[in-house]
Structure 1
């Protein structure tokens, strides 16, 4: 009983029935019940899943453009750890709005994905690990491209793969099958999918018009509050409290020389993980994409320059980068894969640092928009004067301390 009370204290009030409570704004849903675990992949024989299916889907190649800049990054993909088994119906998929083939090709729509997970031995400490498992499934499922972050989503479905899918429920089926078969801790997985009204293109005749953008934004705001509860717990520790940092190599599929190093004071720029979350992931799956990184000797406190981090990154970057300063944009910043929520950049005219969020579509003081800046920074390169950031990262007291930090 005590364990349940602790889990609820950290997880906060339940949002398991959030969409149900908002049906007056979302419209009438459609539901599917997926096969039991023994038959989890039934009906998916023509759809591939695995690292070889990771892909970029460019303009002219996508059947659907979900979230992203044209929608103002309206939407979310949120992993919700539920304490009560009655809150989750294993294999249930609920869809609000139009389905895949009810949307005209090359349309752009807002998208919300709410994954509800339950396991007797699963707590808020597993939220990041399980969220990463879901993201891995998304990234390695045939025909899908996923980027951005939990509250800045951008997903595309390719024209080539679209005919293989009968509907969003099969996408959900693949994610559940992957999650249940790779994470034995999970006992129940339910998905709620919210598809917005097209901002580009449209829907076929007689199809649902789509959920209003304002309703999706409202859901996103409520889920973000829950994320803030997770964040408050993870921000309690400081770098000096631990001897081991953790790193992530998940994005080496798109950036071969890239690896993230995460310390208690340094949340990675994708916003999907914290030190405590990575620690839990490593303990659950020590042979996976998370690695332990002894921090070693502290060389410079302001820069967060550690001998152990340098040694680890030298190996993880295929012997390309010698130094990683965890709290600097100007000198030896971390490499970037492309999933950052925001970016910091040096402005020589004022000898200062600028920060731009992915949602901002205007020009930065450098005379270029975020999209151009992101293209330059991505790919696993170390670009002095440029650094990826997450919104959670900006909340840390040591943010960019090597460049002066917060005033």
Structure 2
């Protein structure tokens, strides 16, 4: 069925990475704009394919172009509530195409085309045709499908605005339900081609990390495709209500993560935070010098208060790793009444990019709005601390309590047998960067050794313990 497509099409190409050295062009991504949208319509011309804007053979190597992917579908039993479910599969199906890389979702998509694909004669019209075939194959409910791909900047800009309105409508519907209203959560393993041990747990109060799938979407997906990547999880016993720990969630996550992850707190960055894939919209990260939490999204271009950009931070906690002090999340989760409730919610947030802060303005408590700084207010830890003190941020009172209980010069290392602190803690790739933070971390070592770090920083290549560590 893909005989007219000049490159291979197969699930075996999922997870293919196209590095800059092998890249012909980049589409959408952090340096441009883009979106993808599935719409259920009443009158769709089956097989219609349209390219609006420059085709690949009209682009220059190294170019960066905007990208819009509109998929219109029709079917007797198709309902509007299935749009988000089907749309999310765009990520998976695009990656079936050899030489085409698709990352993220919604208006955060980031795609690349390889030099080899271009040399083989691959065009965007081939991508559109492939998607039309794969979607009908994956979803028998689809009777007619039309695919439009846009690279014309003005058209893409208009399309992105329309897509965002649709996303907002879907998300608003999901906010009407809470975790207590249901007996079933959902799991999603769609990202395991990139993050083999990641299991995304979706509840009414916690949308998927990608921001593209809510509880209603998952319910529809599980009913439509019981053997698909989205499945039911009976809640089971509530083990930690505030932290969001459930017996059956732990069981299912352990099973689906190949035993790598045994416990998950849905509403905390400490102890057993939710694993992160790579498609998450933002990262929540602990700042030990302030005992507070910062949040950064993939659109933020500067450095975080930890001194590293989003890309470096994402690299340390993505791939399905469970790293204490870090967790990927969707921006929609910040609108949830259970947003990091175990950690203090917005009263624990000490830094946000201005764009995120504005987007969730209606969900930040009124008395906290002026107390949370952005990159326009502060540029370093000392400035953040001064800002928090001047504004009377609750974290400063919390710090006083902690200091009264623990002297500033305390740095305890309890070792049951002699071991080297400079060996054995390694993470793959990237520059040395903090990968775990907490007031106290308990880390097992070989031979049953337990090491307790207080007020410590754990880095990718070594452990540093500092006394009187101040910003």
Give TM-score scaled by structure 1 length. 0.82
Distance 2:304 2:14 in 1: 35
1:227 to 167, 171, 191: 167
Distance 1:96 1:250 in 2: 30
Is 1:265 the counterpart of 2:221? The answer is no
1:324 to 239, 264, 269: 264
Contact kept? 1:67, 1:110, Cα under 8 Å:
yes
Is 1:295 the counterpart of 2:235? The answer is yes
SS at match of 2:286: strand
2:10 to 23, 27, 49: 49
Distance 2:309 2:78 in 1: 41
Runs of 4 or more, structure 1, over 4 Å off, are none
Is 1:59 the counterpart of 2:20? The answer is yes
Deviation, 1:296, is: 0.7
1:370 to 305, 310, 322: 310
Q: 1:182 to 1:148 in 2, by over 3 A?
A: closer
Is 1:75 the counterpart of 2:34? The answer is yes
Contact kept? 1:78, 1:223, Cα under 8 Å:
yes
Q: 1:234 to 1:54 in 2, by over 3 A?
A: same
Deviation, 1:222, is: 2.2
Relative contact order, CA 8 A, sep 6+: which one is greater? 1
Deviation, 1:180, is: 0.9
SS at match of 1:220: helix
Deviation, 1:45, is: 6.4
Contact kept? 2:14, 2:193, Cα under 8 Å:
no
Distance 1:243 1:334 in 2: 20
Deviation, 1:128, is: 2.3
Judge which range, 271-280 or 51-60, deviates more: 51-60
How many residue pairs get aligned? The number is: 347
Deviation, 1:96, is: 1.7
Deviation, 1:42, is: 4.4
Contact kept? 1:149, 1:341, Cα under 8 Å:
no
Is 1:250 the counterpart of 2:187? The answer is no
Deviation, 1:259, is: 0.9
Q: 1:157 to 1:398 in 2, by over 3 A?
A: same
Is 1:334 the counterpart of 2:274? The answer is yes
Q: Which runs of 5+ in 2 are unaligned?
A: 347-364, 366-471
1:137 to 58, 68, 93: 93
Is 1:392 the counterpart of 2:348? The answer is no
Distance 1:337 1:165 in 2: 32
Contact kept? 2:36, 2:87, Cα under 8 Å:
no
Distance 2:14 2:190 in 1: 14
What corresponds to 1:202 in structure 2? Answer: none
Give TM-score scaled by structure 2 length. 0.71
Is 1:116 the counterpart of 2:75? The answer is no
Q: 1:296 to 1:91 in 2, by over 3 A?
A: same
Contact kept? 1:65, 1:109, Cα under 8 Å:
yes
Distance 1:372 1:103 in 2: 30
Structure label with greater radius of gyration: 2
Deviation, 1:164, is: 2.9
Deviation, 1:306, is: 0.8
Is 1:358 the counterpart of 2:298? The answer is yes
Q: Which runs of 5+ in 1 are unaligned?
A: 1-39, 197-210
Distance 1:151 1:161 in 2: 25
SS at match of 1:70: coil
Distance 2:99 2:77 in 1: 33
**Over aligned residue pairs, what C-alpha RMSD do you find?**
1.6
